[in-house]
């Protein structure tokens, strides 16, 4: 049966929640999440969502995505390395099989690898719980074998979920999800077992949204990132905020798009109260210091502001 | 209904690509390319000329900025036709004034129906790229291999009869079936521009061996930036220049690069858009280390690398 609400988190208004302090008194925990993806030329059908807008083979769109791995990713990785910004990679784990060179480069640079499913053309929509369990184990095993890393984070391919997905993730030891966009701070996610939290990932700052839906120019995208940062940095003095810039090498790795991003990253780095970090580090810090406080505070709010009657 | 368990089977999950059209290679594994006369960036400007039949069906899919409205869609038909009557000549004049070596990707049906236009293109010394029959003939698996072979043969024959000698191919809407590359190689073509996945040429493999992919960044095309994303011509021109500067910097450090720019006569040929584009191209042409080249010359240069 369908639910009228996600039922995954409590109402915790911005002005009434335990304050967060990041390491070294940072105002903003800043992380960059490149999506390194593999799209199949001939994906199987899923009745809820087409992988491509055109019939297979959709050469135009496939080749655009492939640009990310053939050209864009190398340009992006080199530039981020030069700036000293680590990536937290939202990874279609089949990239470990298809393009292990990319994975080796990320591991070399101490980047985090987290799950973005297996292929960006396979969705959990219409999977049974058992199928989704197999899917999740596959992801966790593949990343471990390729990098020795434990999967902490999860961004579903195409942000597609089943009602039980968060429970399965928590049960499998995942510590954070990027699929919820309800906040600028981490929040506990209600699951049957484990301690899962949501980490702000941001669709607004996502290059896919900025370029292909909001249709911004690269320079405008750079200005948006700076404006987002300025506001969060000011607010973060009171309680630490999270800012994420999600990237896709097939977009940001285009030669005419990289410079405005680098300029924005450089601007962010020039502030001293910034914690340049990864999704995993944010999630662990939050889980270890604030998860329980937030749950307890939400409970107080529920009681003190109980609905009338 | 749950998904069949085959949905969790991944037949091509292994090293390299999930098809046999070309090989995977990393940026650093590519051979270092040099251009003639010590140039760093090859500037390739391609003008696209298209014919949209008024009775174009909306299946198997609609191309961007095609005939989206109900029949008879005079709105879009005439908007696109503007390019072939007015816009292209404005662009040709601009490109000739700047001394830019130009290619024109042209639907064969247009070459047949407008002898004046194709003769003018040939007289200006432009390289003609075969652009399929017309915008209603999209290459997909819904067409049989036999029919598709015939489409390609007819396209080339029509262009040749009109006086052009195309050695390259751009499919209408960059559409391909699983057979297209093989059929293009079989037809004796030398390059194809449908795969927007690189900044440098690379070889197709298997049944398409002999055919080379030339870089065709559709995201820096006027169709996307101005037609679909509604950016201004000034913003489009800024991105052209930014792309040039980025590629030029890379070429200084790594390997020479191609800056490919696609202009559709019906979009970039609008009066208010011409000047910003002209200024960007003029700045690039004045920059040292730029080689204005037609695609055939780029291919030749790649093939003659030591």
Sketch the domain layout of chain B as residue ranges.
Answer: 36-303
C-alpha distances in angstroms, B4 versus A44, A153, A271, B145?
A: 10, 27, 52, 30
Distance of CA A124 to the CA centre of its chain: 17
Residue A305 contacts B where some CB pair is shorter than 8 Å: no
Q: Comparing C-alpha atoms, which of A50, A42, A62, A58 is closest to residue B140?
A: A58
Residue with tokens 């003008």: B47
Tokens of B276: 């910003």
Per the CB < 8 A criterion, the answer to whether B122 and B164 are in contact is: yes
Run of H or E including A196: strand A196-198
CATH class of the structural domain B36-303 = alpha beta
End-to-end CA distance of chain B: 59
- Measured N-to-C along each axis, helices A255-269 and A218-235 cross at an angle, to the nearest 10 degrees, of 20
- Which chain A residue's Cα is nearest to B61? A54
CA pair distance B262, B239, nearest whole angstrom: 13
Residue A258 contacts B where some CB pair is shorter than 8 Å: yes
**Residues of A numbered 44-73 whose beta carbons fall under 8 angstroms of chain B's beta carbons: which are they?**
44, 46-47, 53-57, 59-60, 63-64, 66-67, 69-71
The domains located in chain A, with CATH, are 31-304 (3.20.20.370)
DSSP secondary structure letters along B67-125: S-SSSS-HHHHHHHHHIIIIIHHHHHHHHHHHT--EEEEE-HHHHHH-HHHHHHHHHTT
Report chain A residues whose CB lies below 8 A from the CB of B220: 254, 256
Output the pLDDT for position A309: 61
- B123–chain A nearest CA distance, Å: 32
In sequence order, the 6+-apart residues with CB closer than 8 A to the CB of A287 are: A175, A195, A197
Is ipTM > 0.95 here?
A: yes
Phi, psi of B157 (to 5 degrees): -65, -45
- A114–chain B nearest CA distance, Å: 19
Output the pLDDT for position A42: 98
In which band, very low, low, confident or very high, does the pLDDT at B158 lie, cut at 50, 70 and 90? Answer: very high
Q: Comparing C-alpha atoms, which of A27, A66, A44 is closest to residue B196?
A: A66
Residue B246 contacts A where some CB pair is shorter than 8 Å: yes
Query: Does the pLDDT at position B28 exceed 90?
Result: no
Tokens of B257: 């690069």
Report chain A residues whose CB lies below 8 A from the CB of B238: 217, 219
In which band, very low, low, confident or very high, does the pLDDT at B59 lie, cut at 50, 70 and 90? Answer: confident
Report chain B residues whose CB lies below 8 A from the CB of A41: 18-19
For B243, which of A98, A118, A256 is closest by C-beta distance?
A256
**Residues of A numbered 216-235 whose beta carbons fall under 8 angstroms of chain B's beta carbons: which are they?**
217-219
Per the CB < 8 A criterion, the answer to whether B267 and B226 are in contact is: yes
CA pair distance B22, B209, nearest whole angstrom: 9
Report chain B residues whose CB lies below 8 A from the CB of A259: 242, 245-246
Cross-chain residue pair B231–A217, CB shorter than 8 Å: yes
Residue A131 contacts B where some CB pair is shorter than 8 Å: yes
Q: What is the pLDDT along chain A (309 residues), one digit of tens a residue?
A: 899 999 999 999 999 999 999 999 999 999 999 999 999 999 999 999 999 999 999 999 999 999 999 999 999 999 999 999 999 999 999 999 999 999 999 999 999 999 999 999 999 999 999 999 999 999 999 999 999 999 999 999 989 999 999 999 999 999 999 999 999 999 999 999 999 999 999 999 999 999 999 999 999 999 999 999 999 999 999 999 999 999 999 999 999 999 999 999 999 999 999 999 999 999 999 999 999 999 999 999 988 887 776
Cross-chain residue pair B1–A126, CB shorter than 8 Å: yes
Residue B64 contacts A where some CB pair is shorter than 8 Å: no
For A46, which of B3, B174, B230 is closest by C-beta distance?
B3
DSSP secondary structure letters along A208-229: HIIIIIS---HHHHHHHHHHHH
CA pair distance B199, B220, nearest whole angstrom: 12
Per the CB < 8 A criterion, the answer to whether B249 and B239 are in contact is: no
Per the CB < 8 A criterion, the answer to whether B192 and B212 are in contact is: yes
């Amino acid at each position: 049966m369908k639910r009228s609400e996600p039922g995954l988190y409590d109402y915790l208004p911005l002005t009434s929640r335990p304050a967060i302090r990041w390491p070294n008194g940072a105002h903003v925990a800043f992380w960059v999440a490149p999506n390194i993806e593999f799209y199949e030329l001939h994906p199987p059908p899923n009745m809820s969502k087409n992988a491509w807008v055109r019939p297979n083979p959709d050469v135009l769109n496939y080749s655009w995505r492939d640009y990310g791995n053939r050209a864009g990713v190398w340009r992006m990785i080199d530039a981020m390395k030069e700036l000293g910004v680590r990536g937290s990679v939202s990874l279609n784990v089949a990239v470990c099989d298809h393009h292990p060179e990319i994975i080796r480069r990320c591991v070399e640079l101490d980047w985090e690898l987290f799950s973005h499913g297996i292929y960006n053309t396979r969705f959990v929509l219409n999977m049974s719980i058992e199928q989704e369990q197999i899917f999740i184990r596959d992801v966790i095993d593949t990343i471990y074998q390729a990098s020795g890393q434990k999967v902490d984070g999860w961004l579903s391919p195409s942000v597609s979920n089943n009602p039980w997905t968060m429970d399965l993730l928590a049960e499998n030891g995942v510590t954070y999800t990027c699929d919820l966009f309800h906040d600028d701070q981490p929040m506990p996610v209600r699951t049957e077992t484990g301690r899962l939290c949501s980490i702000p990932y941001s669709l607004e700052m996502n290059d896919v949204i900025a370029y292909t839906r909001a249709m911004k120019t690269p320079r405008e995208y750079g200005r948006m990132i700076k404006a987002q940062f300025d506001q969060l940095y000011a607010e973060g003095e009171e309680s630490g905020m999270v800012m994420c810039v999600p990237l896709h090498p097939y977009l940001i790795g285009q030669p005419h798009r990289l410079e405005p991003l680098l300029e924005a990253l450089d601007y962010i780095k020039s502030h001293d109260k910034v914690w340049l970090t990864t999704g995993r580090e944010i999630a662990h810090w939050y889980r270890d210091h604030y998860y329980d406080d937030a749950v307890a505070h939400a409970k107080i709010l529920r009681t003190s502001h109980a609905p009338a009657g | 209904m749950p998904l069949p368990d085959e949905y969790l089977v991944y037949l091509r999950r292994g090293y390299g690509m999930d098809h046999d059209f070309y090989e995977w290679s990393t940026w650093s594994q590519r051979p270092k390319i040099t251009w003639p006369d010590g140039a760093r960036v090859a500037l390739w400007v391609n003008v696209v000329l298209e014919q949209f039949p008024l009775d174009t069906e909306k299946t198997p899919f609609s191309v961007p900025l095609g005939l989206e409205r109900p029949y008879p869609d005079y709105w879009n038909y005439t908007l696109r036709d503007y390019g072939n009557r007015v816009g292209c000549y404005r662009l040709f004049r601009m490109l000739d004034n700047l001394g830019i070596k130009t290619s024109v990707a042209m639907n064969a049906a247009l070459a047949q129906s407008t002898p004046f236009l194709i003769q003018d293109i040939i007289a200006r010394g432009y390289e003609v790229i075969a652009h399929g029959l017309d915008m209603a003939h999209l290459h997909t698996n819904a067409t049989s291999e036999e029919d598709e072979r015939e489409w390609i043969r007819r396209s080339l024959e029509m262009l040749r009869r009109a006086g052009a000698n195309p050695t390259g191919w751009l499919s209408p809407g960059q559409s391909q079936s699983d057979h297209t590359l093989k059929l293009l190689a079989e037809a004796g073509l030398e390059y194809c521009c449908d795969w927007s996945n690189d900044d440098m040429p690379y070889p197709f493999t298997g049944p398409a061996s002999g055919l080379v992919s030339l870089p065709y960044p559709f995201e820096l095309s006027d169709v996307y930036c101005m037609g679909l994303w509604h950016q201004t011509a000034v913003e489009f021109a800024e991105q052209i220049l930014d792309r040039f500067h980025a590629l030029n910097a890379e070429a200084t450090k790594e390997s020479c690069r191609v800056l490919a720019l696609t202009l559709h006569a019906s979009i970039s040929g609008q009066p208010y858009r011409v000047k910003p584009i002209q200024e960007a191209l003029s700045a690039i042409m004045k920059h040292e280390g730029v080689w204005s080249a037609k695609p055939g010359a780029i291919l030749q240069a790649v093939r003659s690398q030591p």
